[in-house]
Every structure is written in C-alpha cells, then in structure tokens.
Amino acid sequence: MCLAVIPRSLSEAVLTHESSQQVVVIGTGYVGLGTVALLAHLGHRVTGLDIDAAKIEQLRRGEVPIYEPGLASLLAQQADRVHWTTDYAVVAQADVIFICVGTPPGPGGAPDLEFITGAAVGIAPHLSDRSQVLVNKSTVPIGTGDFVQRLLEEHSPHFDETRHFVVSNPEFLREGTALGDSLYPDRIVMGGAPEGVARLTALYAPLIEQTFAPPAETPRPESYLRPGVVGTTLQSAEMIKYAANAFLALKISFANEIAGLCERVGADIQEVATGIGADARIGPRFLQAGLGWGGSCFGKDTQGLISAGREYGYPMPILQAAIDVNYRQRQVVIEKLQRHLKTLKGKRIAVLGMAFKPNTDDLRDAPAHDLIQRLHAMEASVVAHDPVAMPRARREWPHLTYTEAPDPASALRRADAVVIATEWDEYRGLDWPALLLTMRRPLIIDARNVLRSPLLAQIEQFGREGPSSPAETVHP
C-alpha cells in the first residue's frame, strides 16, 4: 500500500460503519489510559486491560495512577463506557484491540519487545472467528508489525489473515498536553493492509470529522479544523514515529549547540531562535535551549534508530551527535555552578523541578535525576522540590540522596545556588527578589531560560551571557 493522505471525502460506508464499537486497550500507562479516555469519549465501549492487578484495582476505584491534566476527569465522565480487567478473555468480544505497552531500551539501545510479545501471545488464544483489528500504538522497531502477525499465527487457533488485521497507529502525544494532542491531533498515521486501515478509520470517524462534543476541560482550539490522515504500510508507519521524534530531538540539540556558541560570542539564543524560527521551513517549536530533553521518547527512539542502522551496517552520526549534545547539557549545569562556587563540597544546592517536563509526574530520564546524582557525588547537599512528582520520586528514586522541600521557599532558604530544572509555571511566578534575600548567595542557574529581567545580573542561563563576576553576596 503506497503512502496516501486520505481525503476529507471518506466514503459514507467507512464513516458510519459500526459507529459504536467494542474496544480493548492493553496497557494502562500514559498512552493506554489516554487511548481509553479518547475512545470512550468518542462513544465506543472500552475495556482497559493490564496484567498489574493492583493497578486495575486502583482504576476500578476511580484512582488514576499517573498525573496528566484532565485525564482523571475525562475517565470519570465516561465511567459507564469503561471497564477494567486483567483477563485477556475480553479480546474475544472486541472489534478493535490496541496494544499500548512499554518498549524500554534494551542492551545496545534496541527496544526491548518483551511486553509487546507478552501482549500478542496473550491476545492470540482469544481471537474470534470474525473480523478483528489489532492496532499497535507502542513505539516499536521497524518490522514489529510483521513480528506480531507471526506470533498471532503461531499462537491462535482462529487466526486468519483475511479476517485479522495488524495495523500500526503510532501516537504523537506530549505528556502534559496529551488530551489535547489526542482530541485535536496534527495527523493520524495508520499503516497496514487496506482493510485494516479502513476499519480503524471507521473507529476514528468522529475524531477525523471532529463531530464529537469537546470536553469542557479541553476545548477545541478556535483555529483547529480536522487532522490530516495518512494511510501507509506497516513499515512506513513504524518509521514515521521514530523519524518524527528523532527530528524533534535534533532540533533541541541543535538549539543547545548554538546556545553554547552564543554564550561565547555575546549573542542571545532566544533572539537567535526567534529569528531562525520565523522561517516557515524551520518553525519556532523545539528550539528552546536549556537542560535538554528527558522522558521516555526522544532518547529511546533516537537510540532505537541508531540501533536499527547498526543492524544494517548503516551508521547514523547526526543522531548520535544529538544524543551526545543532549546529555552534555547536564554537565554544563555543573560547570556553571563550579564557575561561581568553585568547590561544591559542603554547598547547599536547591533543585526546582524533578519531572522531566511540566504538567506530568513522569521521572523517566529526567535531567534532575542526573543533577542530583552528580551533585551528591561532589559532596554537595541537595534540596529538591516539584509541585507534582515528589511522591513518585520517593518510590522510583530511593537510590538518590536529597532532601525534599515542601515548597520552593523552603528549598531556597540558605541555599548557595538554585537550579531550575523543570519549567513549571509555579517557578516563573515566584517572588524571586524576596527569595534571593533568603539565600546565602543570590545565584540562579536557570537551566530552562524561564526567568526574565530585572534579575539577569544574578542569573546564569543557557545561550546568554552570564553575570560578569561570580555571585559573592552572602546572606546570613
């Protein structure tokens, strides 16, 4: 099947086919829960399935195990259409089955397909003798769709390639804005046999035509019309996901590399980014200099492409450079602290922000993790705060040594420096002049470039000239 952008004039038969369908979503992480909420809001009957019984019990009580703005409310509103289970037997009644499980990096950077394999093997015995579509939303190596189909053939007594279709439908969600990205996407990519793509198109008809009523918490943007719909092959759909994330990672690392030179020549990275981002061929998004990316996608997916290239004897040096620049940024923060404080031994350093980005509690590959770890290794005393992620950090970062602060003011009190590691709006709105008076030294390492004048003389940012001399004022 060749790449094709499916036009607005979709056939009436496709758009009205089984307007309310029975859906099973396997995996209840960020992607899975968002998919459950979206499809239930579109009017489908959805069962969320996970092998973690404790998580399923939590969801049955109405407790959402992750933080994502608006998600808990939307799931509560659709409670009559949503059910939760650990039993794969529900697959037998499903029209469409989504796989939304994790694919963490394995040795050498290649994604670990353990959970994909487990999901496919769990599904296979319960496939029915009628038409069903199996949709992979997980980020997977190119060729995984064929791999999943082989697993179904080997483990299902009912598998028939004329009735059971494997489709790749990668997600393009940003944590913190996942509901808006789901309800009003730029594009929907579907790869697989034409029959499978048509069935999935029917499921998504209210989304494609934007005929659903927007949730009160996530209104439809005024300028938004409808998503582009791309139909292609399994392999191309899988590649689109990897290539999109790798390109965004490249933009961030490019901005950070230019920022380093800006500091040395007296240019301002934000002015430079505005100037080059005004070019329609480049665009302004993902040109923010600072501490670099974190999370579960950019690093893993970029490394996944490099690993795929290595498998075929095809080096990808540009992507490797993007990774190298990104992780270098974490050391740049340490170097800025050393330039002002000289030795870090015995210094009190406040770290504001622990999640890898604002509006989420996700700590995966969070830059703050590396900062805390490195600062402790240099015998600094670390005090950390995050508006949302501290409870999760207690569970996931027991190996780190730091003190929790109940609020930003407590974190900064008698600190020798503060590092802004996550661009929470809460930190932008702090009374910084007053807080600086409570610190031993008025030194801010603004690793997300969120603060503005008149504090610039006391701030070290990325891609901008720092203070002409180290912050020496010591408050009692």
Nearest alpha carbon to residue 358 among 273, 258, 291, 413: 291
User: Tokens representing 234?
Assistant: 């399994």
Is 347 annotated to bind a ligand? Reply is: no
Query: Are the beta carbons of 27 and 50 closer than 8 angstroms?
Result: yes
Is 115 annotated to bind a ligand? Reply is: no
Is 287 annotated to bind a ligand? Reply is: yes
297 is catalytic: yes
Question: Which amino acid would we find at residue 334?
Answer: I
Q: Where are the alpha helices (DSSP H) in 42-113?
A: 53-60, 71-77
Count the helices and strands in the chain (H runs, E runs): 18, 15
Is 145 annotated to bind a ligand? Reply is: no
Phi, psi of 324 (to 5 degrees): -60, -45
Is 462 annotated to bind a ligand? Reply is: no
Angstrom distance (rounded) from CA 214 to CA 318: 41
Is 244 annotated to bind a ligand? Reply is: no
Give, to the nearest 10 degrees, the angle between helix 298-311 and helix 317-341: 140
Angstrom distance (rounded) from CA 254 to CA 270: 13
Element (H, E) at 461: strand 459-461
| Chain centroid to CA 422 | 14
Is 103 annotated to bind a ligand? Reply is: yes
Is 174 annotated to bind a ligand? Reply is: yes
Is 55 annotated to bind a ligand? Reply is: yes
Rounding to the nearest 10 degrees, give the CA dihedral for residues 182, 185, 191, 193. Answer: 80
Query: Are the beta carbons of 141 and 304 closer than 8 angstroms?
Result: yes
Is 289 annotated to bind a ligand? Reply is: yes
Which one from 2, 100, 262, 297 is the annotated catalytic residue?
Answer: 297
Nearest alpha carbon to residue 115 among 133, 129, 102: 102
Query: Are the beta carbons of 169 and 230 closer than 8 angstroms?
Result: no
Is 356 annotated to bind a ligand? Reply is: no
Query: Are the beta carbons of 403 and 375 closer than 8 angstroms?
Result: no
Is 292 annotated to bind a ligand? Reply is: no
User: Tokens representing 239?
Assistant: 């590649």
Is 342 annotated to bind a ligand? Reply is: no
Buried b (16+ CB within 10 A) or exposed e, 257-287: bbbbebbeeebebbebbeebbeeeeeeeebb
Buried b (16+ CB within 10 A) or exposed e, 318-340: ebeebbebbeebbebbbebbeeb
Is 288 annotated to bind a ligand? Reply is: yes
Is 147 annotated to bind a ligand? Reply is: no
454: preceding bond cis by omega (within 30 degrees): yes
Is 241 annotated to bind a ligand? Reply is: yes
Question: Known binding site for substrate: residues?
Answer: 172-175, 241, 286-290, 294, 357
Question: Known binding site for NAD(+): residues?
Answer: 50, 55, 103, 139, 175, 300, 364
Question: Known binding site: residues?
Answer: 50, 55, 103, 139, 172-175, 241, 286-290, 294, 300, 357, 364
Query: What is the set of active-site residues?
Result: 297
